[in-house]
């Protein structure tokens, strides 16, 4: 599935077309929103975008891992990671799109 990647420029263009701000203002708005999300995550806060997803920072403890090439055990240091949890609304939209795509791909049964 090599689909298109949505970029900041694509988001700014969409804001430009739908909201009517100038291209510059649209790009600044997109940057401001992304910066706010990033800053909140860096501070360790959860970011919940209703009907889209929740971004959270989790602390992971130290653990023993294994180098898959050599089999050698190595300690993995404690760290903080960001998690993304899609909302049920987003999950349902993805599922509906997947089902619709599958229905379009079904070959017609040849008449016997």
CA 73, distance to chain mean position in Å, is: 32
Reading the block at residue 99, the tokens are: 């089902």
Share of the chain above pLDDT 70, in %: 93
Q: What is the pLDDT of residue 107?
A: 66
Tokens of 36: 């706010």
Q: Sign of torsion, CA 11 14 18 20? A: positive
Task: Give tens-digit pLDDT for 60-92.
Answer: 999 999 999 999 999 999 999 999 999 999 999
- The label of the residue with tokens 């090599």 reads 2
pTM: 0.74
Domain ranges of the chain: 6-42, 46-105
State the virtual CA torsion across 56, 61, 62, 65 in degrees, nearest 10: -70
Q: Is the predicted pLDDT of residue 37 greater than 70, yes or no?
A: yes
The domain at 46-105 falls in which architecture? Irregular (4.10)
Mean pLDDT computed over 28-57: 96
């Amino acid at each position: 599935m090599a689909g298109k990647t949505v970029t900041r420029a694509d988001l700014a263009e969409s804001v430009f077309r739908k909201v009517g701000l100038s291209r510059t203002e649209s790009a600044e708005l997109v940057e401001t929103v992304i910066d706010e999300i990033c800053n909140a995550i860096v501070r360790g806060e959860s970011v919940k975008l209703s009907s889209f997803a929740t971004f959270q920072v989790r602390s992971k403890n130290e653990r023993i891992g294994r180098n898959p090439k050599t089999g050698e055990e190595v300690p993995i240091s404690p760290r903080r990671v960001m998690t993304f949890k899609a909302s049920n609304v987003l999950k349902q939209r993805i599922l509906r799109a997947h089902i619709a795509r599958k229905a379009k791909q079904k070959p017609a049964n040849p008449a016997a």
